[in-house]
Structure 1
């Protein structure tokens, strides 16, 4: 019972935000004009219509149950007039209404599912990308694997399955109440077969006991499917991600001759996937053996129960068929759990994946909120670090900067051994590093841009890659081509509208030069280069630094680098020096004369 309550609370927390959102949307029903209203009223109206149609269909089925009784009585009595009259005046009418309502319900339900999925997708993407949560989730938890699958697949399946199960459950409850009344009234005078015991509603109690027994047996056989389905989704996503990552790093794998190692790795991941799948097949085989047997027996069970009363002349053929139909309806609704067991197992895995994704984002947000490392804008032109201490995710302190200032207009080179916290310091300045304490004061209104060693190139046109993260239409073609030529990429200037996997099509050196072109277009006030030219040869690197000084005279450059040749292109050099306690601190070295 506790597990069921917990599962229902999880579903409620996932579904509740959409049906209570106050976001305003535009709705148009042809031929009426478009109107604006809150999304929750759109959702609630469509949900009410779907549920109302479902209840109306149950009422139609009840009416057809009485038609079935009268029709078979007409057949037994060989009453042709009643036979044809009931067929055309009752069955055809209500069957047509049922078909029309089913089509309308499907359309409304589909629109509701689309809107719900679209809203949840926007909501999750906003949370995932907002406030750099996606970055901190890598530190927060290993449980939220493959966020792409959770957003793309799990949300879609959650909205679809929630609708299906909710409508099916409400229909089951409505059918249970309606047909239980019919069954109770029919069997009110029945006695237990072979005895004189009179049990009011005998057939209703029989359906209840029968359903409870098979439901318990179904759960005993199939309960392992929940964990197996969760694990299968995780392994499928891991295998798919491995294939995508191999495609992204195909050149590196080829250069290292890593095809054999990749085959082994993919084989192991796929083998684990198949192993878990076989476990699912084995469990579903056992479950299917029971449920299929149960479904076959269900065809004759109600007739067996009412046959003694028919053969004894207590009920006519029409009542017998109505009783059998009502018993099947009641027993079927009581067996809702059995019918949807596999679906419920899949559904529980979807709910768990979205719930753990929510929890991981919440932990990442809490990590940011609880961080003692603050980045705040302030009046003044410089960038100041006060009492800064940088920690690793495991809590070990790696570097400290008690009092460090970067002056505007002064190019600075940050050096030091690998692992001394140089890149971590840049992440702290950018405001994405949550581990540590102290403050980073940035000039108010200043635009900061950081170029990492391996740039990110989005999917799409070269124009979009060159202007990222700004919109592609922000800069005209002439400005983009000029930036590419200045970054020594003239061969790309004519390919702005070409779509390609640029992360694979361009070498790392070309990607770094494309990032330099971005900086030329963005014209930031502060430009941080984290080994952003490490893949270039020294003459090209030198030419690009001279070009940056010339093209961005108002931009303050701060670089991380290991090459001694970089010293000549900076006014100031700071080295991350190891103290006796093992922590690194920035230390000013003797300034050199910058190259012109």
Structure 2
């Protein structure tokens, strides 16, 4: 689905093709019937005008009945066409729009939320300074929500309009040929003289004005793209601001936030003003076009035959109505050019997103376009734990130098490691790189085979789901009983919320608003206790807890997750100890002067050191399987 036509046809060739083609066929049939009805309406209009013109004729025996009959037939045709065929077609077309948009939205959600972390990589693409690499798409939420909706609706409307033009050319053109007559001066055309005049008028008038409409439409397309980008940026800033409204209030930075909002809205206002001027000009152009078409172009071709008495008034009016109907149908592109401009703008934003999604399916190749990215991830027997070798972390740019190196790090099974370093030394970057979430650098990371890992970040954002599902993340609530989830909440210190397991809100507020920063970190602890990971990354995951709560956090993991390997980032000078004074951590990983080095917190007995040295041999040299060793210093 990289290109426009790929997006257009994907739904019709998907597993829901029967639904797509069935609705399309119904719309096509209703469009054909509606176009045929337009011909009957033109004939009925001629009959009505004729009954009015000859109301006082001496040979008209029942003038009032003839008038009412003609008016009734025309009214019935209008009701059948507009309230029947057109209304039912609208229902089918909007249903197709809803189904197609839902299917396409689902595909994008699956693509963004895949195991490749595509949504994450999309936001770390190249900036504008890297002209040779793709630029990260802006306002992804707006593209998935509004642009897909606008593109699918616009495409269906465009297709229906094209079908209407084709059907009108078929039915109205056929009727013009049937009612055609000779024209003085064009006798060589025979009985097709008036029809040829009608076709010449349409072919001359419509394309010329369509060209003007296309020029204006391109201006509308460019402005529509700009206003979509401006609206998306403004909405995104408002969303971000509301999520951090407490911090804005606490710091008293409303004035700065107001300046940011005003600056973003100025871009909307300026673009909107230009868009309004172009739309106003287009509206004037369209009104003048319609008047000339209905009053001059439509009645012009039949005027000569009528003057020469080759056709009756009824035939003249009927022919003019047919020509006007043909002009209106062939002018469909002019009438919907603003919508076509919006369609093209929406399609551009959606296709750009589709291309960006496909570009990041191989993250290492994607990031290699804007810097060095050569991380290798593998697995080894779980007894050897986690191994990190020759790791070098960099920023964007081919000539970037490593800001952090880690020549050889080994984390034994069951070992707890405390990571420390000055702010900005790269602690979180190292944690991200181990988990495949840092874009630039090189190195080898070998995970213990068959061991579940869990990454707990400092900042916790909670989606709008039930409390039970929040605890069960990243798994499904069906995988765990209410009793197990309640037990995990209780052990994490959130027992007061157990009665609300099935609720998405409490007192009308979402859980993201109900829980404090410390309670959110306790919620993450409940996930850890429920999931029982073998490899746990704590990235300042206790930063919002007081000293006693930090100790309880670690003690809960120690008591309920036997054999877990822990790598933790904290800002404390020394890691926390248990209430009895026992060490939770076995080793310390220090980041200093751009180098990560690891050492034990305490000296180990010689025989234990020897066993650990053997266990930490490279995978290809290691043979024996050692029992789990867990050390604690009392």
Does the 8 A contact of 2:45 with 2:321 survive in 1?
Answer: no
Superposed counterparts of 1:406-417, under 5 Å: 406-417=411-422
Aligned to 1:35: none
Q: Deviations over 1:137-195 (max 9, x none)?
A: 111255522222222222222222211111111111221243234335655623579xx
Is there any run of 5+ residues in structure 1 with no aligned partner, and where? 1-7, 24-38, 579-583
Using the TM superposition, give the Cα deviation of residue 282 of structure 1 relative to its aligned residue in structure 2, in angstroms. Answer: 1.2
1:390 counterpart = 2:393: yes
C-alpha spacing 1:220/1:115, structure 2 compared with 1 (3 Å): closer
Between stretches 473-482 and 404-413, larger displacement belongs to 473-482
1:474 counterpart = 2:479: yes
Using the TM superposition, give the Cα deviation of residue 59 of structure 1 relative to its aligned residue in structure 2, in angstroms. Answer: 2.3
Using the TM superposition, give the Cα deviation of residue 591 of structure 1 relative to its aligned residue in structure 2, in angstroms. Answer: 2.3
C-alpha spacing 1:278/1:103, structure 2 compared with 1 (3 Å): closer
Q: Deviations over 1:450-473 (max 9, x none)?
A: 001112311133333232222234
C-alpha spacing 1:212/1:274, structure 2 compared with 1 (3 Å): same
Aligned to 1:173: 166
Using the TM superposition, give the Cα deviation of residue 114 of structure 1 relative to its aligned residue in structure 2, in angstroms. Answer: 2.0
1:376 counterpart = 2:378: yes
Using the TM superposition, give the Cα deviation of residue 561 of structure 1 relative to its aligned residue in structure 2, in angstroms. Answer: 1.9
Following the alignment from structure 2 to structure 1, what is the Cα–Cα distance between the partners of residues 185 and 250? 81
1:551 counterpart = 2:560: yes
Between stretches 424-433 and 530-539, larger displacement belongs to 424-433
SS of residue paired to 1:102: helix
Using the TM superposition, give the Cα deviation of residue 412 of structure 1 relative to its aligned residue in structure 2, in angstroms. Answer: 1.0
Give the number of equivalent residue pairs: 566
Q: Deviations over 1:359-402 (max 9, x none)?
A: 22122224345653232333333112233333323453333333
Following the alignment from structure 1 to structure 2, what is the Cα–Cα distance between the partners of residues 466 and 192? 87
Aligned to 1:5: none
Between stretches 252-261 and 414-423, larger displacement belongs to 414-423
Q: Considering only CA atoms, is the larger Rg found in Structure 1 or Structure 2?
A: 2
Following the alignment from structure 1 to structure 2, what is the Cα–Cα distance between the partners of residues 434 and 474? 33
Aligned to 1:245: 240
Between stretches 123-132 and 440-449, larger displacement belongs to 440-449
Equivalent position to 2:534, from 525, 533, 542: 525
Is there any run of 5+ residues in structure 2 with no aligned partner, and where? 127-134, 367-372, 577-582, 604-631
Aligned to 1:140: 125
Between stretches 523-532 and 395-404, larger displacement belongs to 395-404
Q: Which protein has the bigger helix share?
A: 1
SS of residue paired to 2:419: strand
1:436 counterpart = 2:462: no
Using the TM superposition, give the Cα deviation of residue 103 of structure 1 relative to its aligned residue in structure 2, in angstroms. Answer: 4.2
Between stretches 299-308 and 515-524, larger displacement belongs to 299-308
Superposed counterparts of 1:78-97, under 5 Å: 80=62, 92=76, 96=80
Using the TM superposition, give the Cα deviation of residue 335 of structure 1 relative to its aligned residue in structure 2, in angstroms. Answer: 1.9
Between stretches 84-93 and 62-71, larger displacement belongs to 84-93
> Considering only aligned residues, what root-mean-square deviation do their CA atoms show, in Å?
3.0
SS of residue paired to 1:566: coil
Following the alignment from structure 2 to structure 1, what is the Cα–Cα distance between the partners of residues 143 and 78? 43
Does the 8 A contact of 1:188 with 1:201 survive in 2?
Answer: no
Does the 8 A contact of 2:458 with 2:540 survive in 1?
Answer: yes
SS of residue paired to 1:466: helix
Aligned to 1:233: 228
SS of residue paired to 2:575: helix
C-alpha spacing 1:552/1:159, structure 2 compared with 1 (3 Å): same
Aligned to 2:320: 324
Aligned to 2:598: 588
Equivalent position to 1:446, from 446, 451, 458: 451
C-alpha spacing 1:114/1:588, structure 2 compared with 1 (3 Å): same
Using the TM superposition, give the Cα deviation of residue 75 of structure 1 relative to its aligned residue in structure 2, in angstroms. Answer: 5.4
Using the TM superposition, give the Cα deviation of residue 569 of structure 1 relative to its aligned residue in structure 2, in angstroms. Answer: 2.6
1:190 counterpart = 2:186: no
C-alpha spacing 1:178/1:11, structure 2 compared with 1 (3 Å): farther
